[in-house]
């Protein structure tokens, strides 16, 4: 029989050591000893961190789109107009266009110029009647009486001229002659007419504006689509701010589908060049209209063409002058040419005067006289 080995009593009193077969010691570690408290003359009490009162909630910043229209009742939940935020302006997007709260148009460029360039265009919304334009010398009394009757007779008008010749100002004055009960819808690339602001007696005015796509390339609405949408809003008149492309067909549709009395503006160097510009836009459109087809459409839609000229840039001894020079009556089309008679021709000073013989069609004359054109309109200076 094998005998066991005796173990000293001192080893039996020791705690058992950790062996590889046993698990780890899971007992919690003892807490650290407390930190000694400093006492003495230089001891300073510890200050608690300063607590500032929470900042009051602030209203979100308003991004103005520049419409001079004051807040109207019913435009929003609080009677305010919601404006879209401005676009980006950085080296990746070097162009910026927006409207300021006062209605000014701001155009800025960077990166493609030697230094950042900012241009601000200010529109005079106080000139909103033909009588005011007569006092400024922009139109004569005979031209004012003729145009007033044309608007009331619901004739389709095209106002043409160079940049800064006063096209928007004249259209704004013509809109003031419309019936306050009419529903007027304007379609523009940028809200420059301000019809929803200065037409105080007109409560049924809708101003539409095209929109550039966002940084993801979505959400863009061109002027043609805006004009098409205007036709679905049951308007009495459709006003296209400026025709420069595919919106030509939408404008002609408005003038021939019951929206008589519609207007638009176009850039041109003369009254008769208006037809050539429209034919060029028709060829460049998605439908690739032939000049003959565009000419017949123009003859069917247009009634009058008003051309503005004058001195756009003032010079010493010749101040800036904007004046109506020519008024044409569209009578038909012959092939690719649009036939028109000059009702008002420029005199030696460039001011529109009644043409000799009064070449006005009988139907046009009867319609204008029924709308209030005086019998001696051509004698009025």
Q: In this predicted structure, what is the pLDDT of residue 4? A: 53
Choose between 17 and 60: higher pLDDT. Answer: 17
Q: Two tokens at 31?
A: 């807490």
Say whether pLDDT at 245 is over 50.
yes
- pLDDT range class, residue 258, cuts 50, 70, 90: confident
| Cα torsion 356, 144, 207, 108: sign | positive
CA 224 – CA 83 distance, rounded (Å): 22
Indicate the CATH number for domain 130-379.
3.40.50.300
- pLDDT range class, residue 24, cuts 50, 70, 90: low
CA 42 – CA 285 distance, rounded (Å): 88
Choose between 31 and 255: higher pLDDT. Answer: 255
Q: Two tokens at 269?
A: 């160097």
Q: In this predicted structure, what is the pLDDT of residue 182? A: 93
Q: What percent of the chain lies above the pLDDT cut of 90?
A: 36
In tens, the pLDDT along 82-107 reads: 344 556 788 888 888 887 877 788 88
What are the two backbone dihedrals, phi and then psi, of residue 147, each rounded to the nearest 5 degrees?
-70, -35
For the chain, domain boundaries? 89-122, 130-379
- How far is CA 144 from each of CA 35, 173, 358, 379, rounded to the nearest angstrom? 96, 10, 16, 13
Residue with tokens 């408290």: 37
Say whether pLDDT at 263 is over 60.
yes
| Cα torsion 219, 224, 228, 233: sign | positive
Mean pLDDT score, 125-143: 87
Q: Which of 88-97, 152-161, 258-267 has the lowest mean pLDDT?
A: 88-97
- Nearest by Cα to 290 from 299, 273, 278: 278
Q: In this predicted structure, what is the pLDDT of residue 82? A: 38
Residue with tokens 């173990």: 7
Cite the beta strand spans of 90-215 per DSSP E.
95-99, 105-109, 117-121, 157-161, 184-188, 205-209
- Nearest by Cα to 156 from 39, 258, 29, 17: 258
In tens, the pLDDT along 328-354 reads: 999 999 989 999 999 999 998 889 999
- pLDDT range class, residue 43, cuts 50, 70, 90: low
In tens, the pLDDT along 295-331 reads: 999 999 999 999 998 776 666 666 678 899 999 999 9
Q: In this predicted structure, what is the pLDDT of residue 65? A: 36
In tens, the pLDDT along 192-205 reads: 888 887 777 888 99
Instruction: Show the DSSP H helices in the chain as ranges.
Output: 9-12, 130-136, 141-152, 167-175, 195-198, 223-231, 247-256, 273-284, 291-301, 362-370
Instruction: Show the DSSP H helices in 199-262 as ranges.
Output: 223-231, 247-256
Q: Two tokens at 10?
A: 């001192």
Say whether pLDDT at 81 is over 50.
no
Q: In this predicted structure, what is the pLDDT of residue 9? A: 54
Asked if 202 and 180 touch (Cβ cutoff 8 Å), the reply is yes
Q: In this predicted structure, what is the pLDDT of residue 35? A: 67
- pLDDT range class, residue 262, cuts 50, 70, 90: very high
Residue 122 C-beta-side C-alpha neighbours within 13 Å: 3
Question: Residues for the chain: how many in total?
Answer: 381
Say whether pLDDT at 368 is over 90.
yes
Q: In this predicted structure, what is the pLDDT of residue 44? A: 56
Q: In this predicted structure, what is the pLDDT of residue 75? A: 39
């Amino acid at each position: 029989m094998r005998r066991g080995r005796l173990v000293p009593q001192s080893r039996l009193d020791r705690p058992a050591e950790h062996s590889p077969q046993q698990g780890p010691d899971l007992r919690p570690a003892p807490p650290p000893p407390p930190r000694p408290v400093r006492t003495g003359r230089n001891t300073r009490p510890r200050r608690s961190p300063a607590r500032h009162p929470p900042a009051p909630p602030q209203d979100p910043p308003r991004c103005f789109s520049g419409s001079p229209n004051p807040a109207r009742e019913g435009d929003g939940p609080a009677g305010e107009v919601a404006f879209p935020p401005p676009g980006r302006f950085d080296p990746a997007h070097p162009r910026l266009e927006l409207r300021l709260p006062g209605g000014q148009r701001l155009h800025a460029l960077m990166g493609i110029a030697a230094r950042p360039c900012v241009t601000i265009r200010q529109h005079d919304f106080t000139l909103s009647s033909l009588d005011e334009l007569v006092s400024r010398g922009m139109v004569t009394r005979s031209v004012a009486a003729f145009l007033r009757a044309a608007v009331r007779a619901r004739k389709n008008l095209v106002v043409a001229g160079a940049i800064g010749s006063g096209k928007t100002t004249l259209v704004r004055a013509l809109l003031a002659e419309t019936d306050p009960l009419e529903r007027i819808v304007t379609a523009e690339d940028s809200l420059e007419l301000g019809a929803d602001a200065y037409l105080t007696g007109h409560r049924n005015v809708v101003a539409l504006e095209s929109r550039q796509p966002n940084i993801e390339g979505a959400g863009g609405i061109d002027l043609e689509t805006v004009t098409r949408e205007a036709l679905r809003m049951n308007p009495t008149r459709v006003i296209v701010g400026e025709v420069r492309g595919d919106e030509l067909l939408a404008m002609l549709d408005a003038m021939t589908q019951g929206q008589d009395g519609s207007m638009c503006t176009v850039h041109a160097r003369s009254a008769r060049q208006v037809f050539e510009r429209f034919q060029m836009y028709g060829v460049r459109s998605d439908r690739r209209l032939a000049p003959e087809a565009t000419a017949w459409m123009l003859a069917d839609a247009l009634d009058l063409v008003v051309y503005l000229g004058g001195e756009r840039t003032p010079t010493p001894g010749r101040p800036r002058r904007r004046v109506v020079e020519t008024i044409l009556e569209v009578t038909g089309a012959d092939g690719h040419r649009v036939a028109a008679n000059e009702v008002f021709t420029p005199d030696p000073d460039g001011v529109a005067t009644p043409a000799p013989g009064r070449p006005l069609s009988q139907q046009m004359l009867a319609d204008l006289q029924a709308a209030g054109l005086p019998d001696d309109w051509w004698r009025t200076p």
